[in-house]
């Protein structure tokens, strides 16, 4: 994969194949290890370790910012945070999950634009997934959750385990496949890129700059 990197970059940037076409052409890329490696080849950064490290670093401050938010949004954020404060089995994955969901709301975006939950027993999951351009799909069955990534109607990766890993890998796919961030999720993806991975930090959107200032001071 390392030896064919230049060829892949030429194809994805110059020829702009569909996700389905690229998956058929380079099936080995659609693997957790290879997406991490491809991201490192493009940016020199280690994707998942960096993403998780910075998310954990900002988590205490983010919780403080969310707790101070008033109005209807503040109530939504407090309810989400309360879900982990009330359980005696809180773990780091749960905490990260809640922080990411709260961040999406705090940035003025709709959680359902990023994450779509399905129930295998009640819905035609595959038919619904075909309609998604870029989505994290959470399929529930027997109290178990299966996280997957859907791009241009193609379920490119499944069994990712938790929301944090899915978000990191999804960001990796946007770079590996040269995909444009969805307009309705531009703030969340900017946070992934500029806050958690510190890529292209010379300029922030006003909303992200405001959040960054609160995190620093």
Indicate if the pLDDT at residue 91 is higher than 60: yes
Nearest to 173, CA basis, from 187, 195, 154: 154
Indicate if the pLDDT at residue 29 is higher than 80: yes
Give the model confidence (pLDDT) of 41-69 as tens digits: 999 999 999 999 999 999 999 999 999 99
State the DSSP H helix or E strand holding residue 215, giving kind and residue range, or none if neither. Answer: helix 206-216
Q: In degrees rounded to 5, what are phi and psi of residue 119?
A: -120, 120
pLDDT score at 121:
55
pLDDT score at 146:
87
Name the CA dihedral angle for 44, 50, 55, 57, rounded to a multiple of 10 degrees: -110
pLDDT score at 10:
96
pLDDT score at 140:
79
Gap between the Cα atoms of 175 and 126, Å rounded: 25
pLDDT score at 178:
96
pLDDT score at 193:
96
Give the model confidence (pLDDT) of 108-154 as tens digits: 999 999 998 887 655 577 777 788 899 999 987 777 788 999 999 99
Gap between the Cα atoms of 189 and 114, Å rounded: 10
At residue 216 the predicted structure's pLDDT band, cuts being 50, 70 and 90, is: confident
User: What is the rounded average pLDDT for all residues in the chain?
Assistant: 91
Gap between the Cα atoms of 86 and 133, Å rounded: 35
pLDDT score at 49:
97
Give the model confidence (pLDDT) of 194-209 as tens digits: 999 999 888 899 999 9
Q: Which is higher by pLDDT, 187 or 120?
A: 187
End-to-end C-alpha distance for the chain, whole angstroms: 43
Residues 12-18: what's their mean pLDDT? 95
CB 195 within 8 A of CB 212: yes
Give the model confidence (pLDDT) of 3-14 as tens digits: 999 999 999 999
CB 49 within 8 A of CB 33: no
SS3 150: strand
CB 182 within 8 A of CB 104: no
At residue 161 the predicted structure's pLDDT band, cuts being 50, 70 and 90, is: confident
What are the residue ranges of helices labelled H in 26-108?
32-43, 47-68, 71-85, 92-106
pTM of this structure: 0.91
Nearest to 69, CA basis, from 85, 55, 80, 84: 80
């Amino acid at each position: 994969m390392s030896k064919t990197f230049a060829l892949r970059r030429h194809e994805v940037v110059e020829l702009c194949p569909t996700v389905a076409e690229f998956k058929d052409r380079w099936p080995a890329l659609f693997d957790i290890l290879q997406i991490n490696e491809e991201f490192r080849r493009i940016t020199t950064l280690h994707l998942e370790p960096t993403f998780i490290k910075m998310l954990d670093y900002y988590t205490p401050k983010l919780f403080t910012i969310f707790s101070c938010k008033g109005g209807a949004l503040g109530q939504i954020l407090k309810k989400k945070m309360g879900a982990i404060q009330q359980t005696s089995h809180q773990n780091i994955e749960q905490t990260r999950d809640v922080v990411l969901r709260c961040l999406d709301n705090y940035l003025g975006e709709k959680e359902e634009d990023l994450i779509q939950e399905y129930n295998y027993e009640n819905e035609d999951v595959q038919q619904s997934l075909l309609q998604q351009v870029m989505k994290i799909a959470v399929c529930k069955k027997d109290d178990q959750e299966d996280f997957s990534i859907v791009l241009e109607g193609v379920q490119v990766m499944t069994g990712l385990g938790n929301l944090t890993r899915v978000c990191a890998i999804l960001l990796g796919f946007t770079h590996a496949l040269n995909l444009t961030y969805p307009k309705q999720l531009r703030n969340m993806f900017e946070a992934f890129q500029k806050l958690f991975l510190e890529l292209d930090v010379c300029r922030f959107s006003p909303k992200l700059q405001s959040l960054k200032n609160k995190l620093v001071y």
